[in-house]
Amino acid sequence: MDATHTTALPGQDAAHPDGQYGAIAKWFHWVTVILIAIALPTGFVIKFITGDADGAYKMGFYAIHESAGLTILICAVLRLLWKATHRPPPLAAELPPALRIAATATHHMLYALLIIQPLLGFFATNAWGFPLQGQTAYLGFIDLPKFMDTWEGMAKVLQWLHTIGGYLFLVLLVAHIGAAVFHHAIRKDGTLMRML
C-alpha cells in the first residue's frame, strides 16, 4: 500500500486493494449499464425500421428507447445526489497524472451525457409532435406532459444534437471499458475491482 494510504480505504480487502464503491453506487452503475445496453442499440436502429404498415413496430422501438433513456436520466440524477453525500474510493495514489486526468475527464463527460442526452431526446420527440404518451408512453403506461408544440426546425436541431451525442457516448464507452481492461490486464491494479 502507498504511504499516503495510512488508513484503510472504503471496502478495502484482498480482492479490492484500492478500496471499492458501496453497494448503492455499484447498483446505480450496473443498472445504468443495462439501460445503456438497451437505449444505445435501439436508438441506432430505429431509423432503419421500414415496412411497418401501421408504425406499431417502430413505435415499440421508440417506446423502449425513450423509456430506457428517461430512466437513465433519473438514475444519473439520483446517482449524482448519492455521490454528493457518499465519497467514492480515491484513485490509486500511484496512478500517473495523465491517467488520472483522463479518468476524471471521461467520468465527467459520461455523467454530463447521461443527463444531456436523454433531455435532448425527450425535447426532440416533443418538438416532432410525439411526446411520451399513448404508444410511446414512459414505461408503456405513464403519459408525460407535452412540453412544446410541434416545431420541426427545433426538432431537427435537437435530433442532430442527440445523434451526435449518441456517437460521442459510444466513443466514451469504448474509452471507459478499454481503460477498465487496461487497468486490470496490463497495469494489474485494483481500478476495475472497485466496481465489482
Confidence of residue 171 (pLDDT cuts 50, 70, 90): very high
DSSP string, 57-74: HHHHHHHHHHHHHHHHHH
CATH topology of domain 23-195: Fumarate Reductase Cytochrome B subunit (1.20.950)
Confidence of residue 126 (pLDDT cuts 50, 70, 90): very high
Cβ atoms 114, 120 nearer than 8 A? no
Sign of CA dihedral 150, 153, 159, 161: negative
Confidence of residue 183 (pLDDT cuts 50, 70, 90): confident
- What pLDDT does residue 10 have? 67
Q: Which residue has the higher pLDDT, 169 or 135?
A: 169
User: CA–CA separation, 89 vs 7, rounded Å?
Assistant: 12
Segment (H or E) for 100: helix 97-127
- What pLDDT does residue 14 have? 67
pLDDT tens, position by position, 38-97 = 999 999 998 888 767 667 788 888 899 999 999 999 999 999 999 999 888 887 778 889
Q: Which residue has the higher pLDDT, 98 or 188?
A: 98
Largest Cα–Cα distance in the chain? 67
Stretch 105-130: mean pLDDT:
94
Cβ atoms 8, 89 nearer than 8 A? no
- What pLDDT does residue 2 have? 44
Confidence of residue 115 (pLDDT cuts 50, 70, 90): very high
Stretch 174-181: mean pLDDT:
92
Q: Domain residues of the chain, as ranges? A: 23-195
Q: Is the pTM of this model over 0.75?
A: yes
Residues linked to residue 138 through DSSP beta bridges, in sequence order: 142
User: CA–CA separation, 141 vs 132, rounded Å?
Assistant: 9
